[in-house]
Chains A and B, each alone.
Chain A
Amino acid sequence: MSRQLLTGNAAAAWGARLARADYIPAFPITPQTEIIETLSAWCDTGEMAARLVTLESEHAMLTAAAAAAATGVRVFTATSSQGLLYAMEMIYTVAGWRAPFVLVNVSRGLASPITLEPDHTDVLAARDAGFLQIHCATCQEVVDSVLMAYRLAEDARVRLPAIVNLDGYYLSFTREPVELPAPEVADRFLPPFEPHELAFRASQPLSQAVVVLGGSTYSYFRYESHLAAQAALAVYDEIAADYAALTGRRHDVVETWRLEDAEYAFVMMGSFATKAKAAVERLREAGVAIGLLRLRLLRPFPAAAIRRALAGKRAVAVIDQNLSMGRGGVLHGELAAALYGQPDAPPILASFIGGLGGRDLPSEEFYAIAEVLREAARSGVTPPQRLLYTEHELRELRKLQAIALAERHDPRLGGRGP
């Protein structure tokens, strides 16, 4: 086992290769395309015994993916942003088929306005679909998570599809040292897919994904998927232990960083959480007892682990790299629901929105957030939600606006004047 420099996209492709995926329905979209290009090349050279088929849309891609999984092969597919949304009807639909496969989503902000750089609003749109969701912070985690996602999704107690999420640019196009598990290690960790009775065969009649009439029947099937997703929490712990035993790398449902003795905490998801780690180090040097909680699993939601990790903290800042219009940060809402009414819940749960469309989170902002937390803890007053956005940024935006609005404002061109 040797370490090598890989982009997040390459790590995702390696995950599919080490999982010995049979079938890869594909459709290109930035910043995911490198994944399918890499896999396509391996299929061509025979390094991977898989078939890659480019469909005409992500909707068709997801349909083909789930249909193949429902026929009993191991399926890998990948998309991003608008592609995920285009597939959204099938994201919800196929989760109910109980046909497991892995979808890598390379996060990218959603239109409008359209952009290429990341935030998590895309993958959060799939939050309630029935897909499990694992969020990565490093390229190493990407390959590890793809393998773990297959074990989790295919487990007989779960049988739900899974999304492995990595951030566009900050992981997808960024190289980091990655240790790839040896193929025999991957094989030992992940046995071949066993579809049991849910696969099409000439000798066994089987109608799948059948329509139901009536709310009672419907409620049963929907809730069973929910129960299976919840059961995935305990199954995940077993899998994480197995993976750690084989590779020495342990990835728990949540990652904590200097949190145990902390009075304050950042809560984040995705690759920017490593920036929070760096900030925690500097803040600790400055005497601030702060730590980090990063969610790796979003679905199933690790509520108990979150409660344990944040019990007794004086104030917590949830930094959401997403935006639910008219509500704010999605994670903030999820955290509040998990903590409300719990003994030892932090009295202050502050909400910050940052990193939309790839907007950077400089370390000074983490330091300032820590200051806001300390002030809130002193006063007992939860601060209002804040968008991480500076005077300087607004001035720069005004320059762009001035150009965009030039004719409207120029009296010589019939405008109203400034």
Chain B
Amino acid sequence: MYRIRLHGRGGQGIKTAGRMLGSAFFLSGWEVQDATVYGAERRGAPVYAYVRADHGPIHERGVIRDPDLVAVVDESLVGIPSAGVLQGLAGRGLLFILSTTPAALWQQRLNLPDRVLTLAPPAGAPPIGTLCVGAAARLTGVIDEAALVAAIRQELAGMPAAVVERNLDWARRAYAELAPHAGRVVEGGSGTAVGYAAPDWVDLPLEPAETAAPAIHAALTSLRVPTGLWRTLRPVIDYDRCNRCWWVCSEYCPDGAITVAADGTPRIDYEHCKGCLICVAQCPPHAISAIPETEATNP
């Protein structure tokens, strides 16, 4: 059975990508199971889809714990533990990342020798799930281009022709680029009921209601959630041009992520700024600009 996960963010076409890959297998004669997993459905929040494909009926369900392939649309997710990109990759399985960073560097960084492949998104292409679909199809070596194309057409039925063609172009390019690695992803087995790791079951103790009610006895704990990781573009204040009119940028920032110093100087809290860029759009002297997160250096 093939077990494949696709990781990205809300808005990057992950759900559709999962279905494209599922349909591509299905049209190639495989039994398939595909699904999308989202927590809170939010643009920018981590999301993943998974696809299982086998020669007979599939009885497994839910999260893929032991993937043969993990394909990542948004490379910034790799370093976010809660996104779960690396989950189950310790032993085997291939990691594919849309990234301009060379695969060798990722292999070293993640300690996954020979198990990371990358593809730089073609010029004009955003980080989008379709690229991963083309790549994944080729990496399995069991989906031909006609099935890939048919699957994409099927999943994008109803979309404007230009959108369909664009996606087909991206998928074909990724499919072609990965040709040297065709068949790198191999089917995994189904484990064993002998010598398995037993669950460490525990008897829950009865605890006082103050502890055991879903109540938070503290203020502002949300500050521990680094929503800055959602960001793909970073607003940067040019303090030489900043007028200190904090009541614009700080007031309009939905998240309250622009704090105001005593002298009126606004400061962006990059740990929490989600990158909506309202401040960039509203700054009267145009003192705030947006730069790609990958080019940013943390202060």
Report which A residues bind B (CB closer than 8 A): 96-98, 156-157, 159, 196-198, 204-213, 220-221, 223-225, 227-228, 230-231
Contact A197 B217 (CB under 8 A): yes
Contact A221 B209 (CB under 8 A): no
A223–B220 Cα distance when bound, in Å, is 27
Contact B204 A227 (CB under 8 A): yes
How many residue pairs, one in A and one in B, have C-beta atoms under 8 Å apart? 65
A198–B213 Cα distance when bound, in Å, is 9
Complex A-B, nearest 10 residue pairs according to Cβ-Cβ distance, in ascending order: A224-B212, A205-B219, A159-B209, A98-B213, A98-B209, A227-B206, A207-B216, A197-B210, A208-B215, A210-B214
A96–B213 Cα distance when bound, in Å, is 7
Contact B215 A209 (CB under 8 A): yes
Q: Does B218 sit within 8 A of A, measured CB to CB?
A: yes
A209–B215 Cα distance when bound, in Å, is 6
- Nearest residue (CB) in A for B220 is A205
Q: Does B40 sit within 8 A of A, measured CB to CB?
A: yes
Whether A156 touches B213, Cβ cut-off 8 Å, given contacts A205-B218, A213-B39, is: no
Q: Does B81 sit within 8 A of A, measured CB to CB?
A: no
Chain A min CB distance to B216 (Å): 4
Q: Does B208 sit within 8 A of A, measured CB to CB?
A: yes
7 examples of A-B residue contacts, CB within 8 angstroms: A206-B215, A206-B216, A210-B214, A221-B212, A224-B207, A225-B212, A228-B209
- Nearest residue (CB) in B for A213 is B39
A-contact 0/1 string along B187-218, CB 8 Å cutoff: 00000000000000000111111101111111
- Nearest residue (CB) in B for A157 is B206
Residues of B within 8 A of A159 (CB): 209, 213
Report which B residues bind A (CB closer than 8 A): 39-40, 204-210, 212-220
Candidates B40, B214, B219, B220; contact of A96 at CB < 8 Å? B214
Contact A213 B40 (CB under 8 A): yes
Given contacts A157-B208, A204-B217, 14 further A-B contacts (CB under 8 A): A156-B209, A157-B206, A196-B210, A198-B209, A198-B215, A205-B219, A206-B216, A208-B215, A209-B214, A210-B216, A211-B214, A227-B204, A227-B205, A228-B212
Contact A98 B212 (CB under 8 A): yes
- Nearest residue (CB) in B for A220 is B204
Residues of A within 8 A of B206 (CB): 157, 224, 227-228, 230-231
Residues of A within 8 A of B214 (CB): 96, 208-212, 221
Residues of A within 8 A of B210 (CB): 196-198
Chain A min CB distance to B271 (Å): 21
A211–B215 Cα distance when bound, in Å, is 9
- Nearest residue (CB) in B for A217 is B214
Residues of B within 8 A of A228 (CB): 206, 209, 212
Contact B213 A208 (CB under 8 A): yes
Residues of B within 8 A of A220 (CB): 204, 212
A156–B211 Cα distance when bound, in Å, is 12
Chain A min CB distance to B141 (Å): 36
Residues of B within 8 A of A224 (CB): 204, 206-207, 212-213
A230–B205 Cα distance when bound, in Å, is 12
A329–B205 Cα distance when bound, in Å, is 33
Residues of A within 8 A of B209 (CB): 98, 156, 159, 196, 198, 228
Residues of B within 8 A of A231 (CB): 206
A223–B39 Cα distance when bound, in Å, is 22
A179–B213 Cα distance when bound, in Å, is 38
Contact A205 B40 (CB under 8 A): no
- Nearest residue (CB) in A for B208 is A156
Residues of A within 8 A of B217 (CB): 197, 204-206
Contact B213 A97 (CB under 8 A): yes
Residues of A within 8 A of B213 (CB): 96-98, 159, 198, 208-209, 221, 224
Chain B min CB distance to A122 (Å): 27
A159–B208 Cα distance when bound, in Å, is 9
A176–B221 Cα distance when bound, in Å, is 56
Residues of B within 8 A of A157 (CB): 206, 208
- Nearest residue (CB) in A for B216 is A207
A37–B126 Cα distance when bound, in Å, is 67
Residues of A within 8 A of B212 (CB): 98, 220-221, 224-225, 228
Chain A min CB distance to B150 (Å): 37
Residue among A210, A221, A224 with most chain B CB within 10 A: A224
A211–B207 Cα distance when bound, in Å, is 19
Residues of B within 8 A of A208 (CB): 213-215
